Amino acid sequence: MKSSFLTVRHLLVEGYTEPHQIEPYCYPVFSYSFLLEGEVLASIDGKNILISAGQFILVPENKTIVVKHFKGCRGFTGGFTLDELKDSSYPILRTREPVLQSFWFDDAVFMGALLKRMMVAFNEKDKTFVRSGMDLILSQLRPSGQVAAIPEKFLQMVFEKEHTMFSVADYAQQLQVTPNYLNKTVKAHTHRTAIDWIEIARLNLAKKLLKDNEIPIADVARLSGLDDQSYFSRFFKKKTGLTPSQYRNNGDKGHSL
């Protein structure tokens, strides 16, 4: 029998953690996050979802979550079981798909302040306030719209495990659209261009491959989609502040995208 569960805590992704170092996870409870700053690209049961500042995501029970990219994340996160809620009859709790909702301007400020107060109440063991706060949040959520097909497929291809990175034109050809259309539609739905996402995925893959000392740097460059090792080294240093060799020997103490 599943235990009762209700929690609120800080979400802070900083330091030297890389996406490939975060193991896939699957919670037997409803989980949620609200970002005050930053962005996260996560695959939830195979569907890529980009969460940006001012957005709240609710994930149903037993969904496999894989973090593919994050940057400067700060906010709140937690989870709950239905028996801990004041009201578990909200239709949003019957959906089996993740719910992503944007809160803008004053609403985002209010959401951040509410979750901060809920976290304080949780630490003070004031479950009554936490339940009331969660009740208010759930009352504001609506089912998510459909994810745009082209950006979704593009992100799936780019972040495929151990997949050699290609150019925008190559991905556009595989998706049977023009490079210009691919860039425009990806930018419209994710606020980043297609090349931005390719470079993020390329850097993540390169960092993962560099952890294996048995893989020559020339092969890391090739697998990352850059056959010219010197160009790859310049790209890597521009993004991290370290050469590939320095990263391999010393770990990531630079900056990233």
Q: What is the CATH number of domain 149-250?
A: 1.10.10.60
Three-class SS state of 89: coil
Distance CA 80, CA 58 (A): 11
Higher pLDDT, 143 or 11: 11
Paired with 37 in beta bridges are 74
> With pLDDT > 90 as the criterion, what percentage of the chain qualifies?
63
**pTM of the entire structure?**
0.75
Would you say residue 149 has pLDDT above 90? Answer: no
Q: What dihedral do alpha carbons 44, 48, 54, 59 form, nearest 10°?
A: -20
- CATH, domain range 6-140: 2.60.120.280
Beta bridge partners of 26: 64
Provide the token pair at 235.
């790209």
Mean pLDDT across 182-200: 90
Tell me the C-alpha distance between 186 and 197, whole Å. 9
| 20: number of Cβ within 10 Å | 16
Cβ burial of 128 (10 Å; 0-12, 13-18, 19+) is: exposed
Domain spans, the chain: 6-140, 149-250
Q: Quick: pLDDT tens for 39-50.
A: 999 999 988 899
